[in-house]
């Protein structure tokens, strides 16, 4: 068993010794590419979304120096026709690029890989003739063994991220990858298949991928690999049932990513920690965090501060992902920053609507914490105004609430502000800093209907519940009346603190000089049980 050649199956064996969610169907997708023109696969995922687990699984499956039947015979892959055909049949080149960086300097990455791989090849194949170049040496080894290699490169983009301000190192590394994977004649001689994974898609040279022969599957377009981005809803439901965990809370905290044909996708690292710890918390910040969120949302691009406020408030925003250069330094506009946040997992993206959103409570807490550290004047103003709005709401200052919502409407109103959905969008913008104290629910089933927006205080908060009903071209009093008649507070009947009923209306036909937004705030008196 080598370090970079044929690493064996011990890594996946440890994974199987833990509670393992079966993702072996991924192997069948890679098997389908073996020996085809689609044999180069690059998958990009955020940190802690199971990339290394998948890489170790593939090593265990393909490595010819071990028998991994005991690790796979009870998994889904064993039902596939290709299972026996390819299991433990290949020499595997395995490069964990974060590990390589830990062993040598950034400037020595390429020579280090070449030296160590050739050394291991010489040990396995004593008759191997080292050619003048690295790729021809690999081709000689494949010819000598009578079989091509499977290459698995984990965290392929680590050198790009670590050397983000050192273009010469990036260039040397990309040229190394080109020599292996963009020379189709040589690539076909060396590799039966290649699986490459990282946080970022393949870096672009100009507008084109630097290694254009790879089939890419990203957080923007995962395509057939969507089910292997994280845990599916069915898998999370099974875990919750097995460990007696609250599925509703699991969904609120860690759901939010969704892909065509798959549905909801959950952060696997956070789900497993919540299951083991029996504690729903923000585990995102406890990882070796993705890059600094504050550094990106602080960038000085027109509209970025407003967009971040919208996102925190729960508003979806349109993003053009096409021009992103797939690195951490080349930002031309707001859309490039948001596209990076999609790839880092801070935002979920809907390819059909081309809109992004904060996916769940875990990430929303990270945004809410970070936004208060941003030093831009516009951001500070928005945080202060939103915090003041919450204060005025809690203290029943109806005039101040209506005045601030009127202001937000004037600054950021949607083009067609003619229904309650559009009004809701403005409300979410206005209350965007709610995550410090509350968890937000929209269309919450309650009593005899659905409450428009409910802000439920967090466990350690002293705030009251805010039950908000919206009315377009009707009265705020009518909104309060609907809350009471339909018994919306029933949804939070188990909450021990105060409940405030907030009716907000917009009258498009208000006469000139009269405010079009109105607000009525009432305290909900709970009925005492009859003794």
Query: What CATH number does the domain containing 47 carry?
Result: 3.40.50
Q: What's the rounded mean pLDDT across residues 247-252? A: 91
**Within this chain, do residues 313 and 416 fall inside the same structural domain, yes or no?**
no
pLDDT in tens, 421-461: 778 888 888 998 888 788 888 888 877 788 889 999 987 78
pLDDT band for 288, please (50, 70, 90 cuts).
very low
CA–CA dist 189, 267 (Å, integer): 38
CA–CA dist 319, 342 (Å, integer): 10
Could you tell me which of 516, 440, 454 has the C-alpha nearest to residue 483? Answer: 454
**Comparing 93-107, 238-252, 355-369, which segment has the lowest mean pLDDT?**
355-369
Mean per-residue pLDDT of the chain:
89
Taken in order 320, 323, 327, 333, is the CA torsion positive or negative? negative
445 occurs within a structural domain? yes
Q: Give the number of domains in the chain.
A: 4
**Within this chain, do residues 59 and 199 fall inside the same structural domain, yes or no?**
yes
* 445-469: b (≥16 Cβ within 10 Å) or e: ebbebebbbbbbbeeeeebbbbbbb
- Domain-terminating residue out of 242, 264, 285: 285
CB 7 within 8 A of CB 1: yes
222 occurs within a structural domain? no
Rounded alpha-carbon distances, angstroms, from residue 507 to 473, 483, 504: 4, 19, 10
**Within this chain, do residues 178 and 275 fall inside the same structural domain, yes or no?**
no
Q: Taking 90 as the threshold, does the pLDDT of residue 365 lie above it?
A: no
- Sheet strands side by side (includes 465-472): 438-446, 449-457, 465-472, 499-506, 517-523
**Within this chain, do residues 443 and 494 fall inside the same structural domain, yes or no?**
yes
**Within this chain, do residues 272 and 312 fall inside the same structural domain, yes or no?**
no
DSSP codes of every residue in 251-286: HHHH--EEETTTEEEE-HHHHHHHHHHT-----GGG
**Within this chain, do residues 309 and 416 fall inside the same structural domain, yes or no?**
no
- pLDDT of 131: 81
330 occurs within a structural domain? yes
Residue 205, beta-bridge partner list: 208
**Comparing 83-87, 346-350, 466-470, 514-518, which segment has the lowest mean pLDDT?**
514-518
**Within this chain, do residues 41 and 188 fall inside the same structural domain, yes or no?**
yes
529 occurs within a structural domain? no
The residue with greater pLDDT, 51 or 379, is 51
pLDDT band for 515, please (50, 70, 90 cuts).
low
CA–CA dist 522, 398 (Å, integer): 10
**Within this chain, do residues 48 and 102 fall inside the same structural domain, yes or no?**
yes
Pairing type for strands 499-506 and 517-523 reads: antiparallel
223 occurs within a structural domain? no
The residue with greater pLDDT, 401 or 447, is 401
- Domain-terminating residue out of 371, 400, 422: 371
Q: What is the pTM of this model?
A: 0.84
Q: What is the CA radius of gyration of the chain?
A: 27
Q: What's the rounded mean pLDDT across residues 461-486? A: 90
- Domain-terminating residue out of 371, 397, 432: 371
**Within this chain, do residues 99 and 122 fall inside the same structural domain, yes or no?**
yes
528 occurs within a structural domain? no
**Full domain range(s) for residue 338:** 293-371
Beta strands in 405-498 (DSSP E): 438-446, 449-457, 465-472
**Within this chain, do residues 441 and 477 fall inside the same structural domain, yes or no?**
yes
CA–CA dist 454, 435 (Å, integer): 12
**Within this chain, do residues 426 and 515 fall inside the same structural domain, yes or no?**
yes
**Comparing 54-58, 192-196, 417-421, 444-448, which segment has the lowest mean pLDDT?**
417-421
Cα 479 to the center of its chain, rounded Å? 37
**Within this chain, do residues 15 and 119 fall inside the same structural domain, yes or no?**
yes
5 occurs within a structural domain? no
CATH number at residue 508: 3.90.1570
427 occurs within a structural domain? yes
């Amino acid at each position: 068993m080598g370090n970079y050649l044929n690493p064996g199956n011990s890594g996946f064996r440890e994974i199987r010794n833990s509670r393992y969610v079966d993702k072996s169907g991924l192997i069948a997708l890679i098997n389908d590419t073996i020996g085809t023109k689609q044999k180069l696969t690059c998958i990009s995922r955020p940190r802690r979304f199971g990339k290394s687990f998948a890489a170790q699984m593939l090593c265990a499956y393909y490595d010819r120096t071990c028998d991994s039947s005991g690790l796979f015979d009870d998994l889904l892959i064993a039902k596939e026709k290709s299972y026996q055909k390819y299991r433990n049949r290949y020499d595997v080149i395995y490069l964990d690029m974060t590990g390589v960086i830990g062993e040598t300097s950034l400037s020595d990455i390429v020579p280090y890989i070449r030296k160590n791989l050739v050394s291991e090849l010489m040990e396995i194949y004593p008759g191997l003739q080292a050619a003048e170049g690295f790729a021809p040496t690999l081709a000689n080894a494949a010819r000598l063994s009578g079989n091509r290699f499977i290459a698995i490169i984990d965290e392929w983009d680590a050198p790009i991220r670590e050397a983000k301000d050192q273009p010469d190192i990036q260039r040397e590394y990309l040229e190394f990858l080109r020599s292996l994977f963009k020379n189709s004649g040589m690539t076909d001689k060396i590799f039966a298949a290649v699986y490459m994974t990282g946080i970022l898609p393949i870096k672009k040279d100009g507008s084109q991928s630097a290694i254009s022969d790879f089939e890419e599957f990203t957080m923007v377009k995962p395509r057939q690999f969507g089910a292997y981005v994280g845990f599916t809803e069915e898998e999370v439901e099974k875990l919750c049932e097995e460990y007696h965990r609250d599925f509703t809370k699991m969904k609120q905290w860690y759901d939010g990513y969704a892909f065509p044909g798959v549905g909801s996708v959950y952060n696997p690292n956070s789900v497993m920690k919540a299951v083991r710890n029996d504690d729903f918390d923000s585990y995102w910040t406890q990882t070796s965090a993705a890059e600094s969120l504050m550094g990106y949302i602080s960038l000085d691009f027109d509209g970025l501060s407003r967009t971040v406020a919208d996102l925190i408030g729960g508003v979806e925003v349109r993003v053009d992902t096409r021009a992103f250069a797939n690195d951490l330094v080349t930002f031309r506009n707001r859309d490039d920053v948001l596209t990076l946040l999609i790839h880092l997992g801070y935002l979920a993206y809907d390819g059909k609507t081309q809109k992004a959103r904060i996916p769940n409570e875990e990430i929303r807490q990270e945004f809410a914490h970070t936004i208060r550290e941003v030093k831009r004047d516009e951001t500070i103003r928005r945080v202060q105004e939103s915090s003041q709005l919450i204060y005025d709401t809690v203290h029943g200052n109806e005039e101040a609430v209506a005045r601030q919502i009127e202001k937000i409407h004037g600054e950021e109103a949607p083009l067609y502000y003619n229904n309650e959905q559009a009004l809701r969008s403005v409300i979410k913008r206005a209350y965007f800093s709610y995550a410090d104290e509350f968890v937000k629910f929209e269309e919450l089933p309650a009593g005899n209907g659905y409450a428009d927006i409910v802000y439920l205080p967090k466990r350690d908060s002293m705030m009251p519940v805010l039950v908000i009903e919206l009315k377009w071209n009707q009265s705020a009093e009518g909104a309060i009346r609907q809350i009471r008649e339909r018994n919306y507070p029933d949804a939070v009947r188990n909450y021990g603190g105060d409940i405030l009923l907030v009716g907000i209306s917009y009258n498009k036909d208000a006469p000139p000089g009269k405010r079009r937004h109105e607000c009525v705030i009432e305290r909900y008196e709970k009925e005492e049980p009859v003794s």
